[in-house]
Structure 1
């Protein structure tokens, strides 16, 4: 499995500095619902400290944690792709401090600095590919253990 990349460290220094001019420091208390699946995706965060659970509603009474994110991790990518709706929910698993970015402002900056835009999109794509690979591995492991138990 490949190593997870961190968004801010993936950017070259000039592009990172440019992006960070748009950062706003925010915090969330433990158990705070940061966003819900289906809501408008108009921002994203880079976690500075704490832990966030990405969740998926399976039934009306059952929610599953699909990923745990921590320091340096990107929280939110749906702002980059139409229809700009969250695919998952996110909840603070512990107190969280993060850099928050307004999606519209970041997209304008990417239009002005095409190099930043290309690097940002590639970095987000690499992060998504890694998360998909990790999720796939977990599903295979879980399905495999259920299969073995059924035999």
Structure 2
């Protein structure tokens, strides 16, 4: 299993500094729903402290946690890809502090600085690949559990 990529650490210092000019510090109390699957994805966060559960609805009453994110992790990538709607829900598992980024502002910055744009897209792609690997492992665990029943 590969080590998780932290978005801000994959950017060269000068590009990270440019991106951080767009950051806004926010916090979410424990049990706050940050976003729901299907909602408009117009921002993203880099978690500074606390934990966030990524959830998927099984039915109208039940959700399952598909991943837990912590300090340094990227929360939200759907802003980068049409139709710009959240694929999962996100809920603060504990008190969370984060840097929030407006997607439109970040995309404008990326258009102005192609190197920053490429580094950001590569960073997000690495994160998605890592999360896909984790999800595949989790599904294999679940499948093996059901096979043993």
TM-score, normalized by length of structure 2? 0.99
Name the counterpart of 1:103: 103
Pairs within 5 Å for 1:67-86: 67-86=67-86
The ranges of structure 1 where at least 4 consecutive aligned residues each deviate by more than 3 angstroms after the TM superposition are none
Name the counterpart of 2:15: 15
Displacement, 1:146? Answer: 1.1
Aligned length: 149
Long gaps (5+) in structure 2: none
CA distance in 2, matches of 1:33, 1:21: 26
Name the counterpart of 1:143: 143
Displacement, 1:127? Answer: 0.1
Name the counterpart of 1:124: 124
CA RMSD of aligned residues (A): 0.5
Long gaps (5+) in structure 1: none
CA distance in 2, matches of 1:60, 1:20: 38
Name the counterpart of 2:49: 49
TM-score, normalized by length of structure 1? 0.98
